[in-house]
Amino acid sequence: MKAVMYNYHTWIPYQKEEKLVKDFEKMLKQSGFTIVNKVEHFFERQGYTGLWLLAESHFAIHTFPENNKIYVEISSCVKEYFNKFLEMLKESEYEID
């Protein structure tokens, strides 16, 4: 078996953190990913960083409200789940760069 990792990152327009977390967790689960744990940090002034540890790798969000941007990244060793997540992301309301 050959070790392979699939990775995708993009910028999307800023949304409230509560909506992002709900939407992305739903997409992760519907794609087939297993969420093992989640770590979140809300910055004192503004901003959010979230990291989801997946059995298949990880997913991260970093918000930059002052620039009206969010950085999103997913890494996975399971191509099927990875591709399904990307399809869902592209069909979602989020405009991806």
**Token pair of 93, please?**
């309301």
Q: Is 41 a catalytic residue?
A: no
C-alpha R_g of the chain: 13
State the catalytic residue, choosing from 57, 58, 76, 92.
57
Q: Which of 62, 75, 76, 92 is catalytic?
A: 62
Q: Is 57 a catalytic residue?
A: yes
Q: Could you say which of 58, 75, 77, 92 is catalytic?
A: 77
77 is catalytic: yes
Whether the Cβ atoms of residue 94 and residue 39 lie closer than 8 Å to each other: no
Secondary structure, 3-state, 25-66 = HHHHHHHCCCEEEEEEEECCCCCEEEEEEECCEEEEEEEEHH
Positions marked catalytic = 57, 62, 77
